[in-house]
């Protein structure tokens, strides 16, 4: 695909427009720089773009961002196992915003659904809503979660017969999926709702089936997750030491034990990591803590893939690709997946930066009936739209999602 030139190319001059300043750690830590310290955090050698492809569901073998091994074969495998569809509808970037070229900033909408086999496809809401922003410099990536209970003006959607109205933002997916709209319709209506609310248009989108994530984590082996607050699972029980959904556990008629996620860091198997990432009841900040835990899960998966040698082991990589095919539905906005991969191939290993809205606590609307986004959060989304997020984060470090 010819690369269009309608967006400004990334600048490499320090201080130039589009150049992203370094993120200042909110507190000293391993590899960080505390007050008075002069040591800069060394860059990792594994390419961030390779980690991001886990989110897209397409993995290409790369070493240090320079040597490509088996590129065409692996891209073919990835694209054949990933369902692709039109998830953006009218929320994609216009020609005036750069259209379908990748020279400027890249914004992806990631929607997490907790679908289970016994649920109908039109009876699902997207409880995980994440904006992935990559600045035009292509040297950093940010994850921003939108609270599921945020009050939103959901526009009319003729495809599903929805006439429009005010509701929680996660209901947009449900309304768009009705009357044959399916998950594509749900994603399109939610994407349009978010565009109307934040002004952000998208280059692409992905629906992540968190149930399907289990097979991805199993392909990785385990992931290291840190539990900040002990919480008892609202969804699962142990029967004879085996984790089961509550409804299935009751059917056995056997004694049930609670699944308790205790405070501390540990390696978690797929079922355990996903169950923990689903919890919000019993956590101090409810859905905000869940958002933080889901962001942590994505980072942990990406870290394990690169540090565990998966991306350089053909057998492990093939297993991961096949598992990813069960967990994602992808929309690249008409851009071939390989163009995404080659565009991001030079991105070095800066960590994914996780950000939070509303200071990580519930923010009621005027009458207290629903949640709203505060002024600082809206300014953050404006910074995304203007590709000025790095400067915004430096000026407002409280938006960083930090572990307690």
Domains of the chain, residue spans: 48-214+330-399
Instruction: Count CB-CB contacts under 10 A for residue 44.
Output: 16
Backbone angles phi, psi at 202, to 5 degrees: -120, 150
Cα–Cα distance list, 285 to 120, 228, 273, 383 (Å): 30, 12, 19, 25
Q: Which two tokens stand for residue 227?
A: 């539990």
Q: Report the pLDDT averaged over residues 217-236.
A: 91
According to the model, what pLDDT value does residue 345 have? 60
Taking 60 as the threshold, does the pLDDT of residue 28 lie above it? no
Determine the Cα–Cα distance for residues 239 and 40; give it in Å rounded to an integer.
49
pLDDT at residue 344, as a whole number: 65
Angstrom distance (rounded) from CA 105 to CA 137: 7
Predicted local distance difference test score (pLDDT) of residue 291: 80
Cα–Cα distances in Å, from 165 out to 90, 169, 175, 188, 388? 18, 11, 10, 16, 32
More confident residue, 150 or 83: 150
Q: Alpha-carbon distance 344 to 52, whole Å?
A: 9
127-168 pLDDT, tens per residue? Answer: 789 898 989 888 788 889 898 889 999 999 999 999 999 999
38-52, 164-178, 266-280: least confident range: 38-52
Give per-residue pLDDT as tens, 212-224.
778 888 888 889 9
Helices 287-307 and 48-56, packing angle to 10 deg: 120
pLDDT at 352: 73
> What integer pLDDT is reported at residue 385 of this predicted model?
95
> Among 3.60.15.10, 3.90.950.20, 3.40.1440.60, 3.30.420.590, what is the CATH number of 48-214+330-399?
3.30.420.590
The radius of gyration computed from the CA coordinates of the chain, to the nearest angstrom, equals 21
CA distance 308 to 319: 14
């Amino acid at each position: 695909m010819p690369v269009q030139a309608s967006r400004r190319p990334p600048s490499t001059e320090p201080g130039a427009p589009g150049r992203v300043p370094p993120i200042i750690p909110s507190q000293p830590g391993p590899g960080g720089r505390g007050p008075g310290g002069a040591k800069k955090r060394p860059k990792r050698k594994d390419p961030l773009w390779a980690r991001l492809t886990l989110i897209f569901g397409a993995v290409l073998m790369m070493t240090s961002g320079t040597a490509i091994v088996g590129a065409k074969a692996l891209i073919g495998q990835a694209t054949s196992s990933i369902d692709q569809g039109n998830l953006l509808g009218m929320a994609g970037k216009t020609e005036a915003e750069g259209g379908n070229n990748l020279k400027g900033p890249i914004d992806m909408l990631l929607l997490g659904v907790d679908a289970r086999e016994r649920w109908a496809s039109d009876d699902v809401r997207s409880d995980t809503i994440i904006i992935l922003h990559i600045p035009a410099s292509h040297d950093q990536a940010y994850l921003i979660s939108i609270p599921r209970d945020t009050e939103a003006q959901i526009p009319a959607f003729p495809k599903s017969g929805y006439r429009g109205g005010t509701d929680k933002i996660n209901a947009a997916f449900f309304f768009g999926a009705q009357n044959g709209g399916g998950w594509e319709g749900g994603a399109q209506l939610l994407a349009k709702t978010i565009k109307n609310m934040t002004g952000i248009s998208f280059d692409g989108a992905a629906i992540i089936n968190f149930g399907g994530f289990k097979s991805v984590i199993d392909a990785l082996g385990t992931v290291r997750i840190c539990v900040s607050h002990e919480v008892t699972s609202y969804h699962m029980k142990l029967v004879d030491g085996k984790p089961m959904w509550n409804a299935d556990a009751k059917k056995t008629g056997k004694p049930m034990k609670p699944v308790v996620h205790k405070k501390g860091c540990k390696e978690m198997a797929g079922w355990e990591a996903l169950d923990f990432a689903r919890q919000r009841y019993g956590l101090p900040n409810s859905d905000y803590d869940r958002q933080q835990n889901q962001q942590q899960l994505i980072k942990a998966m990406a870290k394990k893939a690169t540090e565990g040698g998966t991306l350089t082991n053909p057998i492990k990589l093939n297993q991961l690709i096949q598992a990813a095919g069960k967990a994602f539905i992808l929309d690249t906005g008409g851009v071939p997946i390989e163009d995404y991969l080659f565009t991001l191939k030079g991105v070095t290993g800066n960590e994914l930066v996780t950000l939070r809205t509303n200071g990580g606590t519930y923010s009621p609307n005027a009458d207290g009936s629903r949640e709203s986004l505060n002024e600082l959060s809206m300014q953050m989304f404006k910074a995304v739209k203007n590709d000025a997020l790095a400067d915004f984060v430096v000026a407002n470090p409280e938006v960083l999602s930090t572990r307690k």
